[in-house]
Amino acid sequence: MEVRPRITLLAVLVVLACAAAGVGAWALAHGRSPLHPEISAYSHGQLTRVGPYRYCNVLDLNDCQNSQAQGELRVNARDPVQLSVPPAIGRAPWWLLRVYEDAVNPTTTFYRPGSRLAVTIPTVDPKQGRLTGIAIELMTVVVDRAGQLHGVPHAEWSVRTVWG
């Protein structure tokens, strides 16, 4: 075989190998789903998706990943927040916490398993003021040393609102 056809064949093989490596890298990067579920919040034309702020092993609440990830969403007084949770959260019992600027404690709502995947949240409450944040919690029941049952969050997602 002459030198020129060998170089051409080698060049074609190198180009094909590079293309295959590029396609493989793209498939790995884009085919990966997040390790933990993400929530979505939408308002006034803006969408934010965020993974858990804290995520613990349900069987060992000392085994936690504390990413402290917090979504940020621009809001105004006219447009409510549309909150969406994936089925991985919605099929479990979950709590929605809404934090308003004039409230002493968050407003909480409990959702039964399979009952809700989306919630509309007003950005202004007449008694509690403007919405400053939203949190989603998945609870685990634990027994303390006195034998009392308590709900403890094993996972939490957080979105902070920015007014403007």
Question: Same domain, yes or no, for 123 and 150?
Answer: yes
To the nearest whole percent, how much of the chain has pLDDT over 90? 69
Asked whether the CA dihedral 43, 117, 38, 94 is positive or negative, the reply is positive
Task: Looking at the structure, tell me whether residues 77 and 132 fall in a common domain.
Answer: yes
Q: What pLDDT does residue 20 have?
A: 47
164 or 73: which carries more pLDDT confidence?
A: 73
Q: What is the mean pLDDT of residues 104-118?
A: 95
Do residues 55 and 84 both lie within one domain?
yes
Same structural domain for residues 118 and 61?
yes
The pLDDT tens digits of the residues spanning 72-96 come to: 999 999 999 999 999 999 999 999 9
Overall number of domains in the chain: 2
Q: ∠ at Cα 59 (61, 93), nearest 5°?
A: 85
Asked whether 77 and 124 are in contact (CB, 8 A), the reply is yes
- For residues 109 and 137, membership in a common domain is answered with yes
pLDDT in tens, 124-133: 999 999 999 9
- In the chain, % of residues over pLDDT 70: 79
Together in a domain, 123 and 66: yes
**Mean pLDDT computed over every residue of the chain:** 86
pLDDT reported for residue 141: 85
pLDDT attached to residue 56? 95
Residue 16 pLDDT grade (very low, low, confident, very high; cuts 50, 70, 90): very low
Do 64 and 5 belong to one domain? no
Q: Distance between CA atoms of 44 and 75, rounded to whole angstroms?
A: 6
Co-location of 73 and 23 in the same domain: no
Sequence letter at residue 46 = Q
Q: Quick: pLDDT tens for 27-47.
A: 445 555 568 999 999 999 999
* Interval 136-146: pLDDT, tens: 999 988 888 99
Residues 23 and 46 in one domain: no
Task: Indicate if 24 and 45 belong to the same structural domain.
Answer: no
134 plus 54 within the same structural domain = yes
CATH code at position 69: 2.60.40
Residue 52: CB atoms within 10 A of its CB come to 26
Both 126 and 157 in one domain: the answer is yes
The domain of 48 spans 39-163
3-state secondary structure of 115: coil
